Structure 1
Amino acid sequence: MIKIKEHLSDAEREQVLRRSNLHAWWQVLSTWSEIGLLLALVSAFPNPLTLLLVWILLPGRQLGLSVLMHEAGHNTLFADRRLNQWIGQWLCALPTLNDLNAYATGHLNHHRLAGTPEDPDLANYRAYPVHPESFRRKVIRDLSGQTGAKLLIGVFERGALSLWRRVPRWPRAPRQTDCRAGGAGGTAHGLRCWLGVVGMVWHLDDLLHAGCQAQASGGACGGARCQ
């Protein structure tokens, strides 16, 4: 087993492990800014070229959110533990269909039991290194969305559909004839159209991001390699 103390001095370890709220905010906000620009692009110019461009670029930023979730799960993203929990959950984990606490529990067990039969991530890397033909099949499954679809189905099977059924429905609002209401209705309709395009692109890219995330988890802390 590698002992960090044999390779890094105490001062070097302190420098590596030092946390910064400013740096963490930059990482989170810059990632979301890039996501916003990509979604604004495809919303403003919805054509096959922009869809293809966003299809290629957006999964990388979604994976970036997963990497930030990984750091928050270790309480190493922000210096403030409460910010790690809140930002890690709401701005990193949930948008990528994850849960910070559930992820952190399993991932810390992975660190504690890495390489043993009890390691919860053992199935992700047991077969590595893989044969080139096996790697080719994995790439095809990931790029075609098969891996992502399988993982998304698992999310729903683990309770998303059950949660949706328990969500109370808002009562239907009475029809408004006021001209101001008409303007608001037009704005709301435009917003729904915009959100429809954004939502379609986001969840289609979830299929590709989920495949990349599955491959990134093939080794210990693999997600950090894809940031």
Structure 2
Amino acid sequence: MAAAARVAPKDHFSPAEWAPLSRKSSWKGLALMAHAWAVIFAAAAMAMAWPITIPLAVMIIGARQLGLAILMHDAAHGALHPNLKVNDWAGETLTPGGLVQYRNYHLGHHKFAQQAEDPDLGLSAPFPITRVSLRRKIVRDLTGQTHFKQRWAPLIRRIRERKPGESAVAILRRFVKSRPKFFLGAAVTIAVTAPFGYGWAWFVLWWLPSATWLPMITRLRNIAEHACVAKDEPDPLRHARTTHANILERMFLAPYYVNYHCEHHMFMHVPCYNLPRTHRLLKAKGVLPGMLTAPSYLDVLRLASSKPASQDRGGDATPEERGVRQVAIQ
């Protein structure tokens, strides 16, 4: 298996330029995590005080849930904190978790980016699709169908197909034990909020965003990063796409510099908060024209949904739809 071509920092930066880009801060990554949780709590407080703002809170919280996954992704690269023990503790404890499993899987994506062995190739390979197909996918995400297929349908299938003598209760017990943060967080939040009349808060202000807004922006983010990138692309400057994000997109779709995805694939150990500076330096050096970039998320979606309507395949769930991962930060 041939690994994807890589970019050496010395090809574009002097040692003096590279040192601050690759340096891990002892506080910036942790500050971003604190910011994500602060925004989540502030949006939840807003919604509880003024229920009319619940739709806005769902979008804000879903985007910060993605933000926490992005920061966990930085931890998977050892880029969240200079102390690896602190890096891994924060990446596992202060996010939805799954750091070790994600790291093992995700580094394979970087090693074989857009090559046949890339474990994420199936997420980008089907594009372009039709506008109707994209619209169907977004509807499935926003109505919770994608979340159900990924998180709950396998459990129901496992119970239905259980072996003789195997109880449904035992299967449910193992399921709960395999997701301790989810169920413990639900129990604690409900116990704290219910006495004040907000027993609904966890369901509406955590679970609902994770079941609707998060799957949709995860899909759109993944499309922007790798859709319509050629399989077996030899140029390491074109394995992933950087997309310009305005302030609203950074708030609701692309938090914590995740839109600088080409730079991330070029230099995967650069912390996310140093990616904008990396982008500016590459632009100043004339490298940017050779990189894969897009002026906006809307432009990428137009490209990704440019397949003629006559070729639409109907409402079937495609492999890449079944494969959209809640924490697959590429």
Task: Please give the residue correspondences for 1:129-168 in structure 2 after superposition, counting only pairs within 5 Å.
Answer: 129-153=128-152, 162-164=174-176
**Post-superposition shift, 1:44?**
2.9
Q: Which whole-Å CA distance do the structure 2 matches of 1:42 and 1:74 have between them?
A: 35
Task: Please give the residue correspondences for 1:5-44 in structure 2 after superposition, counting only pairs within 5 Å.
Answer: 5-44=10-49
Q: Which residue of 2 aligns with 1:81?
A: 84
Which amino acid in the other structure matches residue 65 of structure 1? L
Q: Which whole-Å CA distance do the structure 1 matches of 2:81 and 2:44 have between them?
A: 27
Q: Which residue of 2 aligns with 1:106?
A: 105
Consecutive aligned runs of 4 or more in structure 1 exceeding 6 Å deviation: 157-160
- In the alignment, which of 206, 212, 221 is matched to residue 216 of structure 1? 221
Q: Which residue of 2 aligns with 1:124?
A: 123
**Contact 1:145 1:211 (8 Å CA) reproduced:** no
**Contact 1:148 1:211 (8 Å CA) reproduced:** no
**Post-superposition shift, 1:143?**
2.7
Alignment partner of 1:64 is 2:67: yes
**Contact 2:66 2:218 (8 Å CA) reproduced:** yes
**Post-superposition shift, 1:57?**
1.6
**Post-superposition shift, 1:155?**
7.6
**Contact 1:35 1:58 (8 Å CA) reproduced:** yes
Q: Deviations over 1:13-50 (max 9, x none)?
A: 222211102111210111110001111122233x2x22
Task: Please give the residue correspondences for 1:192-207 in structure 2 after superposition, counting only pairs within 5 Å.
Answer: 193-194=197-198, 196-207=200-211
Q: Deviations over 1:66-111 (max 9, x none)?
A: 11011011110111111111111111133xxxx1111111100111
More helix, by proportion: 1
Q: Which whole-Å CA distance do the structure 2 matches of 1:50 and 1:91 have between them?
A: 26
Which amino acid in the other structure matches residue 106 of structure 1? Y
Q: Which residue of 1 aligns with 2:259?
A: 225
Q: Which whole-Å CA distance do the structure 2 matches of 1:154 and 1:76 have between them?
A: 35
**Contact 1:143 1:211 (8 Å CA) reproduced:** yes
Alignment RMSD (CA, Å): 3.2
SS of residue paired to 1:8? coil
**Post-superposition shift, 1:11?**
2.6
SS of residue paired to 1:225? coil
Which amino acid in the other structure matches residue 101 of structure 1? V
Q: Which whole-Å CA distance do the structure 2 matches of 1:37 and 1:74 have between them?
A: 29
Distance 1:188 1:61, change over 3 A: closer
**Contact 2:75 2:87 (8 Å CA) reproduced:** yes
Structure 2: segments with no counterpart, 5+ residues: 159-170, 180-190, 227-239, 243-253, 261-271, 273-330
| Segment drifting more, 156-165 vs 27-36 | 156-165
Q: Which whole-Å CA distance do the structure 2 matches of 1:19 and 1:115 have between them?
A: 28
Which amino acid in the other structure matches residue 41 of structure 2? G
**Post-superposition shift, 1:7?**
2.5
**Post-superposition shift, 1:196?**
3.7
Q: Which whole-Å CA distance do the structure 2 matches of 1:187 and 1:114 have between them?
A: 45
Distance 1:198 1:112, change over 3 A: same
Q: Which whole-Å CA distance do the structure 1 matches of 2:154 and 2:48 have between them?
A: 27
**Post-superposition shift, 1:114?**
1.5
Q: Which whole-Å CA distance do the structure 2 matches of 1:143 and 1:187 have between them?
A: 28
Which amino acid in the other structure matches residue 73 of structure 1? A
Q: Deviations over 1:152-208 (max 9, x none)?
A: 2268579885242699xxxxxxxxxxxxxxxxxx988516x5354134320010012
TM-score by length of 1: 0.75
**Contact 2:36 2:64 (8 Å CA) reproduced:** yes
TM-score by length of 2: 0.53
Which amino acid in the other structure matches residue 103 of structure 1? Y
